[in-house]
Amino acid sequence: MTESRVWSCNEWDPLEECIVGVVEGSTVPIWDAALQATSPKHAEWFFKKYGGQPFPQDMVSRAARELDGLAELLVRLGVRVTRPERVDFSKTVQTPWWSSTGLYAAMPRDVILVVGDTIIEAPMAWRSRYFEAYAYRPLLQSYFQNGAKWIVAPKPTMGENFYQADYSPDRPRIDGEKQFVISEAEIAFDAADFVRCGRDIFAQKSNVTNGLGIEWMRRHVGHDFRVHEVEFDDEHPMHIDTTIVPLGPGKLLANPVWVNKIPEQFKSWEVRRPPPPVSPYDSALYFSSDWLTINFLSLDEKTVIVEEREEPLIEFLKDWGFDTIAIPFRNFYPFGGSIHCATADIRRSGSLRSYF
């Protein structure tokens, strides 16, 4: 055994190694209640037309060029980059409860969370993502063999009882209480519903993460970490990384629409609101909100990699004292994420600290 390469406690310490996803093999998920809960209404036609089939080849090629460009940039900047397997996700899988085609290995941030020296493999909540982690297994196996800890959260069956039969995206609250398409019947979470700030980890319940999932995380990260459940005003939440984006000790970017109340813990931090996205209501955003604009990657607490068309955001970040590296990434957006989603931290230097 050698010393583990896996170590990351926050979103901003100097990045030394990360996984960059691959988009080849991506398959459009079959339209169901879980997808409907978070997809923009304008995207329904896309899933109904292509569900179960590979994403159109021209979309894949354009997005793959941008992803490869990101991977090459990171390598040039001295970051070690690993990539998952290219898997054909159009194959149908069968469990005792259901059958489904898959999705992709394009968004490692959704599947893998590194907390300290431990890799946490998320159980996920969509049937199309049930086996997604296997695309990362050769990498995880090698990190394990090099000394990392690796834990896999229990997977829900994703049977009928797991989803709320009476959930409607048009009624996201009942008596003021947020409703979600997944139930509390079994543990579920996507890794991207957690954001790390040293000893403090913030998590939201969403249409892919339930209370049991957050509790599972709380019990497994150990006494060095505190998991705080936070709630925002996104009525169809899925993934926290376009809602709050911690950029460094004491600096928080907060979504101007969904974060009306800053969580108590951040009260002493400088909180700023980004400008609106340059292409709001983009009909090619099939899985996500327009706020992919702030789904960018910190190389360290001064430098961020952002999408090149987001000029108002770039100016805003420069005014705040950040160095920005702008890259083309717009063709990746239709797959549901930007530069943060397309990567997962494996190693950032720095030690475990409390920032609150």
Catalytic residue ranges: 190, 239, 341
Instruction: Check: CB of residue 165 under 8 Å from CB of residue 137.
Output: no
Instruction: Check: CB of residue 307 under 8 Å from CB of residue 261.
Output: no
Which residues lie near ligand ABU (CB under 6 A)?
192, 238-239, 241-242, 288-289, 291, 295, 336-337, 341
Q: How far is residue 206's CA from residue 224's CA, in Å, rounded to a whole number? A: 25
Q: Token pair of 198, please?
A: 């040293």
CA distances to 80, 158, 184, 241, 348 from 178, in Å = 40, 21, 13, 19, 35
CB of 76 to ligand ABU, least distance (A): 26
3-state SS record for 321-339: CCEEEEECCHHHHHHCCCC
CA distances to 30, 103, 175, 234, 306 from 183, in Å = 20, 22, 18, 18, 35
Q: How far is residue 322's CA from residue 63's CA, in Å, rounded to a whole number? A: 27
End-to-end CA distance of the chain: 35
3-state SS record for 292-319: HHHCCEECCCCEEEEECCCHHHHHHHHH
CA distances to 130, 159, 208, 316, 348 from 98, in Å = 11, 7, 18, 47, 39
